[in-house]
Amino acid sequence: MSIHTVAPPGGLREVVAAAALRLLLQGLLKPVLSPRVPLALQRSWLRGLAALTLAPRGVRFERSTLAGVPGEWVQPVAASGVGALLYLHGGAYCIGAPRTHRAITGHLARFSGRPVFVPDYRLAPEHPFPAARDDALACLQALQAAHGPVVIAGDSAGGGLALATALAQRDHGGPMPAGLWLLSPWVELPAGQADASTAPAPPGEAMLSAAWASACAAHYRGPTPASDPGCSPLRAELAGLPPVWLQVGTDELLHAQGLRLHDRLEDAGVPVYAEVAQRRWHVWQLHAGVLPGATAAVRRAAAFSAQVLAGEQPLTAPPAPGAARRHRVLVLGAGMSGLCTAIQLKRAGIHDFVMLEQSSGLGGTWWDNRYPGARVDVPAPLYSFSFAPYPHWRRRFAAAPEIQAYMEHCATRYGVRAHLRLGSTVTAAHWDEAAALWCLRTADGRTYEAPWFVCSTGPLSQARWPDIPGLADFAGTRLHSARWDTQVPLAGRRVGVIGTGSTASQLIPPLASQATQLTVFQRTANWVLPRLDRRYGVIDRTLMRVPGVARAVHRFWYAVLEWGRRGFDEGTAARASMLRLAQKQLAVVQDPALRAALQPPYPLGCKRIIYSNDFYPALTQPNVSLVTEGIEHITPQGVRTTDGREHPLDALVCATGFDTTHLLASIDLRGRDGQRLADLWHDGPAAHRGVTVPGFPNLFLMLGPNTATGHTSTLLFVEPQVRFVIDAMQRTEAAGHKTFEVRHDAFDLHNAGLQARLRGSVWSQCRSWYRTESGRITALWPGFTAEYVRDLTHPDWREYDIA
């Protein structure tokens, strides 16, 4: 791999300086970098902060002009070697100047021994694209004429400008620069506020926001579309570029863009080396001279610059264009199970792996589920990894953004961001018998190979639209709860919701407070229990930092929810208690007809139980109506039910969840002899302890068939699964073997036993997403958590073939 994780240097100075600088940036700079603040004020504020920067010794700063472009020379006192550097400052194309970046340019000139020219290129909105690129290109050509070889460097927007300038020089047929040093480059501009190219900033981002970036991008683009390669060089053909030294931080807005650029450069055959600095924000190199890690980063880049200027080749050759990227492990999916897998791989000393994620951000279902009211339905202390307790929870039942922030926190803490490949949709995964490798293809044409394949997409990854005639003809706004568009306004509109399950119970209360009329279409009523929620205060968060307290809280909630599992069995005290609570919840509905319509016609627990305190009250509001007649057809204007009535709607929300019975259906997944997993699973998905499948060696499923739970946190199942996978890999490799595969007889015996237990359970007594059309229960584990953990922690290795 040419992507390398760089840990911050140890020592008290680094720790104290990093903490202080982050706080200063978040307090003094980030609030000013806002679309609400005039650009003139932003520019003057940045110049004022730059005046506090201490320039390094051993360099001179001289105002000058090059090719008609004003700027600043940074001359090393002790000059050595041939060539020069062109540095393009950042500032989102709208702010910034040579003076604001002297900490970087001064150290760069000093460490490389070469002069650095920093143009004061024209800024937007006064001078939109291509003014800045024209200035940079003129300076490059003048430097090459006077000094010979040139390295172009740039940070943020300057990094994107450096890449665009090199591409323009290539396309003009001029001599290429000797190399590129790109610091947190901005190489793909957003087309608007909701564009996926500018994802929400991670919690540690100290400077940037997506809103500010989008506003500045609009200023710079002017009438030019964001897709133009001149504005967004990530979209250009990159072949023919010189060696690239790339530096990004894990805590920055442009982290994912930097990694995508690395992959695109490798695809194009460009030598590239990427450093991913752990726990560092956007362009942390600006603190060179104060932050030891920043100084070291500039020193490494200066050494690279000196090498390429001297005509040396400092980087290893990239893979041939179109060649497969070879790793030890491929992880599909960056949800909770994928994140756990990545963390534990690194803790086991396995660092050669990548995580392929189709979305534009980390989180899996917690990235996809952005609907109003989305939250976890188990206590947050139990929805945390046992090895990574989180003292920052705000509520006992955390909302989706808070869970996603926890995942970002874990990804940064354990250094897995460098392994993420966002926006990578896997379309095919084939086992190569001769090479003993899994070969994965993505929608954009990349190929990855590895002996081990961990599929952590989980059961909640493929959104399921209802199979109702006319759905595609609806003329209003159509939304799915798992693909929510936060930009769609619903206030003051007539909104319909199909579904009254767990997801619907969360989004209906906030929709009821916005919509003029909310119509809820219910096929079957659900059991509702109270959500024992409360806000966590300062005392709670302080106690969670006390050694042993987090573990004790984790164990407490584990015991409580395991007791709740008994509520699925007839004749238990737990079941009697849960039934009393459910009837008490339903009693808040005063209207007898509505209360009768909300009474479930099946035993408690047969379908997923809803935990909510505001679902029933929302249904009693005067602007909310519950429709229990079946849906006959969806018309362009609304929904027509079987009683002949048409319900006019402006927006239709499908809270119909996920397809859990056709797992991995979107991937052409083939094992030995080309056997398709879809064919093996034609009667429904099945696996040995939810993890392994015969005929598919070295493939491991996270939260595979029959590992969902109706009563507790899925993370209690994920962690032993990951430990089992790593143990199986290490055992196989230590024995000098190549493949690990479950035996057919063990697979058949295990699943026959599961189905026998499930046939007599409460889950067999109604239709639900737990079951296939044939009635086979493919989602749930029939027993208690401890049994599953024990089976995976102490497996019978005779059930597997290791060869």
Q: For residues 638 and 660, give the distance between their C-alpha atoms in angstroms, rounded to a whole number.
A: 28
**DSSP 3-state assignment of 230?**
coil
**DSSP 3-state assignment of 787?**
helix
Query: How far from 354 is each of 308, 358, 697, CA to CA, in Å?
Result: 29, 13, 19
Q: For residues 720 and 726, give the distance between their C-alpha atoms in angstroms, rounded to a whole number.
A: 10
Contact 732, 739 (CB under 8 A): yes
Show the tokens assigned to 372. 């109003």
Query: How far from 307 is each of 79, 175, 226, CA to CA, in Å?
Result: 15, 18, 35
Q: For residues 458 and 335, give the distance between their C-alpha atoms in angstroms, rounded to a whole number.
A: 8
Contact 705, 779 (CB under 8 A): yes
Q: 452-455 and 517-521: which strand pairing?
A: unpaired
Amino acid at 155: D
Q: For residues 90 and 82, give the distance between their C-alpha atoms in angstroms, rounded to a whole number.
A: 26
Q: For residues 644 and 632, give the distance between their C-alpha atoms in angstroms, rounded to a whole number.
A: 8
The H-or-E segment that residue 558 falls in is helix 549-565
Angle at 577 between CA 573 and CA 582, to 5 degrees: 150
Show the tokens assigned to 705. 């068939």
DSSP-assigned letters across all residues of 189-226: --SSTT-TTSPPPPTT-SS--HHHHHHHHHHHHTTS-T
Neighbours of 738 (CB within 10 A): 15
Eight-state DSSP code of residue 162: H
Show the tokens assigned to 567. 């509520």
SS (H, E, C) 337-365: HHHHHHHHHHHCCCCCEEEEECCCCCCCH
> Residue 103: what are its φ and ψ, rounded to 5°?
-60, -35
Contact 135, 164 (CB under 8 A): no
Q: For residues 691 and 551, give the distance between their C-alpha atoms in angstroms, rounded to a whole number.
A: 27
761 included as an active-site residue: no
Among the listed residues 34, 44, 80, 156, the single catalytic one is 156
SS (H, E, C) 51-88: CCCCCCCCEEEEEEEECCEEEEEEEECCCCCCCEEEEE
Q: 3-6 and 272-277: which strand pairing?
A: parallel
Eight-state DSSP code of residue 692: B
What's the number of CA atoms in the CB half-sphere (13 Å) around residue 593?
Answer: 4
Phi-psi region of 564 (alpha: psi -120 to 50; beta: other; left: phi over 0): alpha
Candidates 719, 680, 681, 727; CA nearest to 703 is 719
Candidates 616, 656, 662; CA nearest to 634 is 656
Q: For residues 265 and 273, give the distance between their C-alpha atoms in angstroms, rounded to a whole number.
A: 10
Contact 497, 372 (CB under 8 A): no
| Residues tagged active-site | 156
